[in-house]
Structure 1
Amino acid sequence: MNTNSKPLSKYDIIRAEIEGVRGVSLDDYQHELDENHPAIKHYFELPFLILATSALMQGKLPNQRGMWNMSKEDMVDNWDKMAKGLSKMATFMESQAIYDRNRLPTNAVLAVIAALYIDIPENLDSRGNFEILLKKYLWSSFFTDRYENSAATHAFNDFVILKNIITSATKADGSHYTENDVPILNRELYALATDDELKRVGWPKRENIRARDIMDVFSKLGAYDFADGSPLTRQQLIDGRRHYHHVFPDALLKEIEADSYFALNCALITDKTNLNISNKDPLKYLKDRYNSTSEDIVNSRLQSHLIPLDELKSGDYTGLSGDEKTYKVKSDFARFIAKRAACVAKAVDILADGRDINAFEIIKDVEEHASLIQDVV
């Protein structure tokens, strides 16, 4: 307890222990870390990231028990390595277009990636190859249920095998560890989310892990604003200039008593564009945009959110009412969600394989696959 009778956090206790034994100020170290690498704090609280990464570096679980049990002297001695790892983690997360805590599906990956970077060589070829491994790990952690329970234990077990791969450690039989040994990369144990599962995911503004996963796919593609074409950035998120927008209008779906709050009915667009669209029918909005700029430009912006254009363009409800309108809106919305789910699932397969994604190629592949199925039927 401190002098104000408030329970001390584990960081407070570890800080006091270090200052008593080593005579160094952990606060000063943390302040310097934040000053030199300000992007780290966007992903989670610095005290937790410092302790969790330090625990993994010492072969301890990234949880309270591991933090208590690790050597505080070694933690201070390894501070520069830990700080470097956290800095590279933040850079890597930004390269995957994940900019802040509110868009992060699970914080379990942060210390793992930071601790792994300590052993990743600076050689460009080697680093590039191992960063492909990190991409596989990151997107697998988002789109499997590996970290939905016992996250710290599972993260530790994944970390150990990933580190063995990076450091070329050998097994008892003399063979090297491979990706097949990493639990989270084993699709028989942890399958990627399917398009049917993605269809049911709720609104991303709520604390919904899978919804954040879906929005991160669009972010990776740039999530360009429909009207001004600006790509999604961290600063836009900090300033509150990106809004969660219903692609199919909420008012339109409420009119037929249908739920509109699905991640696959959401796009992160600028506040001005969101207010301008308001409750327009999708087709009316598209026509307005095509009149102000070229059709190709508008289409490419929409595709960066994996919005299927044909299904969106079908939504002309002029002159419709009653059951006829209800049937058409429900049918159009169902086709839209199904197509977008298939596109996201395709993107997930590619990302979890460590590759980059291209919106045009994903949509084209999904459409060709659907066409082949229709031909067979």
Structure 2
Amino acid sequence: MKDWFTSVAERRLRLPRFQRFEAWSHNEVGSLLETVLRKLPAGAVLVLKVGAEEPFASRELESAPALRPGDRVTEHLLDGQQRLTALWRAMHDNYSNRTYFVRFENDDEEGSQPAPRVLGQYRWNRGGKLYPLWCEDPIEVHRRGYIPLRLLNPLGNDQRNEWALTATDGNFQDAWQLNLRVQELATNVSQYNIPYLSLPEETPKDVALDVFIKMNTSSVRLSAFDIVVAQLEEATGSSLHELVEDLHAAVPTLQRYIDGGTLALDCAALRSDRAPNQRSYQRMNISDVAGDWDRIIAGIKWAIEMLDAERIYDAQRLPSVASLPIIAALHQYFPSSLDEAGNARRLLRAYLWRSFLTRRYDQSASTRALQDYRGLRRLLLGEESDWKTAPIFDEEVTPLPTEDDLIGAAWPRGREVLARGLLAVALREGARDIADDQTVTAGNLSKREYHHLFPDSLLLKIGKAEQQKTMRALNCALISWSTNRNISNKSPLQYLQDRVSRADMGEDAVRARFASHLIPYAELAEAGPYLESDGEKLVRDYDNFLAARARMMLPVVQSLCEGVGSQSSRGLRATEVQAARVP
């Protein structure tokens, strides 16, 4: 530790400015100090060797000496800031509201040796004095059995002898014994080993940052966005945080979907013809990002408006975020003439839904995003006419889902893209509540719940089905919490009869509500009631329902993936279309 402290004191070890400031609580500081005093390992740190020029703008550790002209920086501390800062500040006693002490106490186990315990004493200022007063009185500190941590500073402390003599009220023999204890502790601290990993000075900046992000173990982890924040401020004097605040002010609904800073950087990367990933952030011209900010805001606003138009209202109902920066970045190429705009809007609608209903971005998302961005850009600019220019439209590369895919899609509250995509399709159709007839909107989402059309408890108890089979996207509808409570675990036949008996227009009204979710009414109306012995029939009815709903949804899925929004073009069964038209 003495070597580390010497590097900090001589200004040779510094922090890249993109690192956040200290974030540890005083409990974490105390725990680290006990680890050191007990000679237990506290983990390794990561440094980057610095050559003739610093690769990153840097700063000193909190409360460490500032850089002076002529000082030679030899290392940047990439990981370990919180630990070294905590040790430095505790040993230098420069926390404004804490003073650290150590004393030895017996553990609860019989026969155990006294072990060091650290006290982080809270301090406060009153009338120009720092309380509690005993912390500044060596006699009172010693009477309580404590030794100030500052006396153990690896760089030395010339107050040790004087403190020991004062603490023992001038008793030279006691002072000698106390000073030996302090010296022993100080030696242990000075010799405490902090292992490290070192990147050579020729390491490229983007590689060093990638290693840093993957290895960073602080309690408040940094993201690629945090790093770009510091680099933008260094390059332009502009605050990216302030720019993101401007973005959220211009697009107030953005926060319902995604972090604005990350989306803006992804959009900026694509606009500079780079993949939306961390490596691109480091290779972009950061000054251009600030200069292009108004256009980035306009593109993001346009993308969010498109989500709202497609009735996708929040992050929980958003199947995939991968397409958002692509659409935002393409805004600059959107045509202004009426008919061309209509064609372009259909193209982008088709792209959006394919991103929601295929596995295009399950892997290598950033690379594939750049491929699709380039293909869509060529189509918008009229350089190509074949939609397959964007690989997402090549069904050999990116196949559309089949009926079996729809049947197998998981519960939409999870992260599976197709599962959320199928719920999004239903919401786009209008998704009126099956009891109060209210359409799902952004304003009432908080009052909506995921409902099992075939109750989970029935399938598990009577049908002996596995949980995985009950949790299917096609067994789900988003309805009001009050309707969900009213239905409870009734069989479909039972809750349909309840709805029909209460509807002024009878069965036609209820059919229309279910059709708005793309739910086949007939298959539900035949399901139940079930006795304990009806397990096989229940599972058979459930399988028939899933297959019927898949057949009903698939034409809609295919139509949306072609960018078509007209209900009449989707080939719904005549009975369902007719029911959906009931006022």
2:368 is the counterpart of 1:185: no
- Which of 453, 464, 474 aligns to 1:247? It is 453
User: 2 CA distance for matches of 1:37 and 1:45?
Assistant: 12
Residue 360 of structure 2 is matched in structure 1 by: 146
SS at match of 1:267: strand
The answer to whether residue 289 in structure 2 is matched with residue 75 in structure 1 is yes
- The structure 1 residue matched to 2:477, chosen from 261, 267, 273, is 267
Q: Distance in 2 between matches of 1:360 and 1:249?
A: 33
Cα deviation for residue 366 of structure 1 reads 10
Cα separation, 2, equivalents of 1:12 and 1:328: 57
- 1:374 aligns with none
Distance 1:196 1:21 in 2: 53
Whole-angstrom CA distance in 2 between matches of 1:90 and 1:224:
23
Cα separation, 1, equivalents of 2:501 and 2:20: 65
SS of aligned partner of 1:243: strand
Q: Please give the secondary structure, in 1, of the residue aligned with 2:563.
A: coil
Residue in 2 that maps onto 1:302: 514
Is 1:312 the equivalent of 2:330? no
SS state at 2:238 partner: coil
Shift of 1:81: 0.6
Superimposed CA distance per residue, residues 168-209 of structure 1 (whole angstroms, 9 cap, x where no aligned partner): 23xxxxxx3531222110112221010112111221122222
Instruction: Answer yes or no: is the 8 Å Cα contact 1:283–1:315 preserved in 2.
Output: yes
1:173 is aligned to none
Q: Displacement, 1:88?
A: 0.3
Match of residue 219, structure 1, among 420, 423, 427: 427
Q: Distance in 2 between matches of 1:246 and 1:326?
A: 17
Matched, 1:256 2:463: yes
1:310: Cα distance to partner? 0.9
Deviation at residue 83 of structure 1 after TM alignment: 0.2
Distance 1:200 1:268 in 2: 19
Q: Is the 8 A contact 2:379 2:389 kept in 1?
A: no
Separation in 2 of the partners of 1:29 and 1:68?
18
Q: Which moved more, 1:80-89 or 1:114-123?
A: 114-123
- Residue 562 of structure 2 corresponds to residue 353 of structure 1: yes
Q: Any conservation in 2 of the 1:89–1:114 contact (CA below 8 Å)?
A: yes
Q: Distance in 1 between matches of 2:524 and 2:362?
A: 34
* CA–CA separation in structure 1 for the residues paired with 2:438 and 2:566: 19
Which one has the bigger strand percentage? 2
Alpha carbons of structure 1 residues 128 and 164: separation in structure 2 relative to 1, 3 Å: same
Between 5-14 and 72-81, report the one with greater CA deviation.
Answer: 5-14
CA distance in 2, matches of 1:13, 1:350: 42
Identity, % of aligned pairs?
Answer: 36
CA contact (8 A) 1:304 1:359 kept: no
Give 2:495's aligned residue: 285
On the 8 A contact 1:346/1:366 being kept in 2, the answer is no
Letter in 1 for 2:508: D
Correspondence 1:28-67 to 2 at 5 A: 28-67=242-281
Residues 1:65 and 1:143: Cα distance change in structure 2 (over 3 Å): same
Q: Cα offset for 1:73?
A: 1.2
Aligned residues: 357
- The answer to whether 1:234 aligns with 2:442 is yes
User: Which of 404, 407, 423 is the equivalent residue of 1:199?
Assistant: 407
Q: Deviations over 1:327-352 (max 9, x none)?
A: 32122111111000111221111100
| Equivalent residue, structure 1, for 2:112 | none
Q: Which moved more, 1:87-96 or 1:228-237?
A: 228-237
Q: CA deviation at 1:13?
A: 2.4
1:335 to 544, 564, 567: 544
TM-score (norm 2): 0.59
Which sits farther off after the overlay, 26-35 or 335-344? Answer: 26-35
- Give unpaired runs (5+ residues) of structure 2: 1-18, 23-81, 83-217, 578-583
Change (3 A) 1:285 1:363: farther
How far apart are residue 235 of structure 1 and its match? 2.5
**CA distance in structure 2 between the aligned counterparts of 1:230 and 1:216, rounded to whole angstroms:** 17
Over 3 Å counting, the alpha-carbon distance change for 1:70 and 1:273 in structure 2 is same
**For the Cα contact (< 8 Å) 1:204–1:211, is it kept in 2?**
yes
TM-score, normalisation: structure 1 = 0.90
Larger mean Cα displacement after TM superposition, 254-263 or 269-278: 254-263
Two-structure CA RMSD over aligned residues (Å): 2.0
Which of 304, 318, 329 matches 1:115?
329
Change beyond 3 A, Cα 1:85–1:55: same
Supply the AA of the counterpart residue of 1:52.
D
Aligned partners of 1:242 and 1:270 also within 8 Å: yes
> Which structure carries more relative contact order (alpha carbon 8 Å, separation 6+)?
1
1:167 aligns with 2:381: yes
